[in-house]
């Protein structure tokens, strides 16, 4: 399958245009929407968010990922293969966390170019055609890179920030819950929160933190919006009293 993750939003023509390319180039391959609302222009939060969601997909899945504020600039277009899954998108850090956590990593610079390449929509013109080719079994249209020689900024293993706010107002962080003691207190925006197993473990209106279904520390309010009640935004720092 081809899995799409972008910050484009569902409004406007952009996702539809990319899907049209995928259906034209690989009509037999299923296309699935994972994220249309990755944090806008926020490469690092998106990188930690993607890394938490890819493990549920089978080997051979092709991820078409676009958070690309530098489109048309110096950043390279790349393909990453990490632990059997493929990732197509800009080389701007979006795949850093996935690569850092993977046991097996291969990189390519995409050298193929379409006859017409817009300066502002590489998701449609470059990344979607390449993702379709890989999904239908073609060779990567690019030059292999030595992962050991490739320059990649080293990021922390976990990101102590809010990286995503869902439709319910729950705030996901870039911290994996498995490395935390359940007795740890989470501090953010002037609030100090205790851990709970799930929503029904606390009274309505109570704020808490828990390990969500994809393994991330998430801040929530039972039957309420944590973002509004606690004043949370993507990029807000979180701190635990009790170390990771």
Residue 151: predicted pLDDT? 64
Contact 85, 38 (CB under 8 A): no
Give 159-241's CATH code, choosing from 3.30.70.1450, 2.40.30.90, 2.60.40.10, 2.10.210.10.
2.40.30.90
The CATH code of the domain at 2-145 is 3.40.50.10790
Give counts: helices (H), strands (E), the chain.
6, 14
**Cβ within 8 Å of residue 62, ≥6 positions away:** 1, 2, 3, 85, 86, 87, 88, 131, 134, 135
> Hey, where are the domains in the chain?
2-145, 159-241
Please tell me if the domain spanning 2-145 has the same topology as the one spanning 159-241: no
Residue 244: predicted pLDDT? 44
Cα 239 off chain centre by:
22
What pLDDT, in 10s, does the model give residues 163-187?
999 999 999 999 999 989 888 999 9
Predicted model pTM: 0.94
Below-50 pLDDT ranges, the chain: 243-244
């Amino acid at each position: 399958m081809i899995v799409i993750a972008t910050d484009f939003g569902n409004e406007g023509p952009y996702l539809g245009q990319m899907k049209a390319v995928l259906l034209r180039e690989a009509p037999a391959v299923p296309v699935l929407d994972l994220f249309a609302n990755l944090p806008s222009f926020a490469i690092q939060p998106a990188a930690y968010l993607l890394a938490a969601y890819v493990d549920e997909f089978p080997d051979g899945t092709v991820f078409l990922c676009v958070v690309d504020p530098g489109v048309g600039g110096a950043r390279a277009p790349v393909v990453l293969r990490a632990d059997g899954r493929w990732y197509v998108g800009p080389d701007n850090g979006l795949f850093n966390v996935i690569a850092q956590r993977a046991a097996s990593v291969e990189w390519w610079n995409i050298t193929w170019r379409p006859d017409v390449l817009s300066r502002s929509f590489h998701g449609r013109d470059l990344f979607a055609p390449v993702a379709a080719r890989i999904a239908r079994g073609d060779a990567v249209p690019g030059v292999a890179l030595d992962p050991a020689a490739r320059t990649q900024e080293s990021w922390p293993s976990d990101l102590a920030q809010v990286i995503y706010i869902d439709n319910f107002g729950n705030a996901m962080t870039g911290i994996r819950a498995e490395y935390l003691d359940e007795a740890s207190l989470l501090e953010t925006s002037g609030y100090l929160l205790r851990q709970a197993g799930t929503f029904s473990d606390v009274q309505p209106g109570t704020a808490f933190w828990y390990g969500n279904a994809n393994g991330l520390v998430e801040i929530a309010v039972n039957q309420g919006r944590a973002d509004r009640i606690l004043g949370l935004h993507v990029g807000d720092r979180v701190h635990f009293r009790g170390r990771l």
